[in-house]
Structure 1
Amino acid sequence: MVKFAGLLLIGQFLVYVMSFGRHDTNPVYKAMRFLTSPVVKSVRRITPAKIADRHVPFVSFLLLFWAWVLLIVVRLDMAQGSV
């Protein structure tokens, strides 16, 4: 789920860049925004108010990325322990 949400945020960013300012009317962007909204809203709750709302998706991606890396490390550690 962590990897999926991170990939959705990357896809949302790419659609934003490729839509040349008309991202609000793009149905693919709207779908990705809907799917990532629980993650972004959760991160908004834990981040300080000093962080602008437009930066929260980037912060969400960074948190998901480091959670994904941590999960890989844990999985590798568990694999080493079973040998």
Structure 2
Amino acid sequence: MLLIISSIKLVAEIALLALAGQFLLGLLAGAKRDSNFFYRLLQVLANPFVKGTRLITPRVVIDRHIPLAAFVLLALVWFVATVAKINLCLQIGVQACR
């Protein structure tokens, strides 16, 4: 169970960092961000989560806001996984979680 929770937490962390990096690099690169290799790499990493968010959000939410919604949902998943991991470690003992 600890492995599953840790894996979910890790995937959420990677996706959150990819979305944050994509946002910051988009600010720095400006209009030429689509031709930037690293921006495209971060976009490939974050794209499955953005598309998944598009599937579960209503059509009222415009496409421009979907990456922000994906970031918020991933932050929520990360928080829940962190709380679950802490509770599990307290139940089985802190030494078993290392």
TM-score, length-scaled by structure 1: 0.95
Segments of 4+ moved more than 2 angstroms: none
In structure 2, the partner of 1:7 is 17
Amino acid at match of 1:20: G
Tell me which of 35, 46, 53 is aligned to 1:25.
35
Structure-1 separation of matches of 2:89 and 2:34? 45
Larger RCO of the pair (alpha carbons < 8 Å, separation 6+): 2
RMSD over aligned Cα atoms:
0.9
Unmatched runs of 5 consecutive residues or more in structure 2: 1-10, 94-98
Higher helix share: 2
C-alpha deviation, 1:20, in angstroms:
2.0
C-alpha deviation, 1:24, in angstroms:
1.2
Structure-2 separation of matches of 1:12 and 1:39? 13
Deviates more, 1:44-53 or 1:26-35: 26-35
